[in-house]
Amino acid sequence: MSIVFDIFLSAFDNAKNWIARKLFWGRGSFISFGFKILSVTFAFILIISYLYRKPVVTSVGQEVASDSFYNQNYKIDTDNIKTDLVVMNSTITTSVPDDRGRLYSEEYIVKRGDTVDGIAAAYGLSVNSVLWANDLDEDDYINPGDTLVIPPSDGVIVTVEDGDTVYTLAETYEANSQNIVDFNMLDYPFTLTVGEKIFIPNGVEPAPVVVEEPVVVVASRSAVSNQYVAPQATSTPVNADGFSLIWPAGQPSFISQYMSSYHHGIDIASSTLPDIYAAASGTVVFAGCYGTCPALGSVYGGTNYAWSIQIDHGNGFTTWYAHLSNIYVSSGQYVSQGQVIGKMGSTGMSTGPHLHFELRYGSGWGSFANPLSYM
């Protein structure tokens, strides 16, 4: 230790003498020399830090997810982290499918050369729907700069007047009351406010009545023209991929509303409130209240789909059964095709006793298929 200490003191003394000579003989040049040394050192540090930098990457799908102790103690939700990473790397541009139905009216500024026929064709509407929305008739002209109201789909935009109800409007405009409720997202008991505008899907403006002499008016539309008698389960055809559905409601029942751009399933109606059957075998993944619901056993009341059941059929398809008055199964239960799972009702956003029946590819909202294609 003595020898090491002597060496250290000798080195220190030599350094001190060197600095003293620089200060004495070099006068002001030593300070310049010191600045040069500091500048070179700082530049060297910057270059090294740039060349050897590494991005910090956290793999939430593997390392964090596989560390069960870390997850259990710190409650990390890896699904949410993955979602956040996807959002961070996404764009603000949303691609909207061309076949997605619009829910609201739009305004269109007429340009030179436009015609009502051309505008209607561009929006995929009938000419009458555009004329009715703008209080025009076939003989009226449109001019550049005019603003036209473009309805969301074929039908009539109506301003609610005193005494109007969903049922009277459906009768007046030859429409389906359930269509009106579904499109306008009306909840039971479907109260309308005077002065508000609602849309009547597939409605038809009543023709002006000109009476010159007493006449007898005969209804030209049959009350049962859209009824569909359910086939028996034994006659259900099997589709190409082997997956088929049976009729999910007891008899008598009929289709009161078909699938459309805004109605994502079929409605099967019956005044007798029959039992509801599993259209195919699978596992119940939801059995409960979707929205708000009255007490089980009640036929009316609630919002949205109300008492509902969803069954996963294990092949990517799920079926939904909505507006029920009672439920006989529970989540997680396996059911066989044809097994009774509930009872028809009119709970939620429903204008009368019926089953809202959906076929989805996946358990979420968005991928809808026409169930009639699989019956």
pLDDT of residue 266: 93
Tens digit of pLDDT at every position of the chain (375 positions): 889 888 988 888 888 887 777 666 665 566 677 777 888 888 888 888 777 665 544 444 444 333 443 344 444 444 443 444 344 444 444 444 444 556 778 888 888 877 888 888 888 888 888 888 888 877 777 888 888 888 888 888 888 888 888 888 888 888 888 888 888 888 778 878 888 888 888 888 887 655 454 443 333 333 333 333 333 333 333 443 578 899 999 988 899 888 887 788 999 999 999 999 999 999 999 999 998 899 999 999 988 899 999 999 888 889 999 999 999 999 889 999 999 999 999 999 888 899 999 998 865 555 788 999 888
Q: Is 155-201 CATH 3.10.350.10? A: yes
> What pLDDT shows up at residue 61?
41
Strand, helix or coil for residue 325 = strand
pTM for the predicted model, two decimal places: 0.49
CATH of domain 106-150: 3.10.350.10
Per the listing, tokens 């398809």 go with: 317
What are the structural domain ranges in the chain?
2-51, 106-150, 155-201, 239-374
Which two three-digit tokens encode residue 31?
Answer: 């300070």
CA distance 331 to 289: 12
pLDDT of residue 284: 93
Residue 51 is predicted with a pLDDT of: 73
Say how far apart CA 165 and CA 193 lie, in whole Å: 10
Asked if domains 106-150 and 239-374 share a fold, the reply is no
- Looking at the DSSP bridge assignments, the partners of residue 359 are 319, 369
| Token reading at 206 | 């009543």
pLDDT number for residue 276:
95
**Closest Cα to residue 185, out of 340, 320, 291, 30?**
291
Residue 70: what residue type? Answer: Y
C-beta neighbour count of 161 within 10 angstroms: 11
Q: Which of 3.90.470.20, 1.10.260.40, 2.70.70.10, 1.20.1260.10 is the CATH number of 239-374?
A: 2.70.70.10
Q: Which residues contact 52 (CB under 8 A, 6 or more apart)?
A: none
Residue (of 281, 303, 301, 300) closest to 291 by Cα position: 303
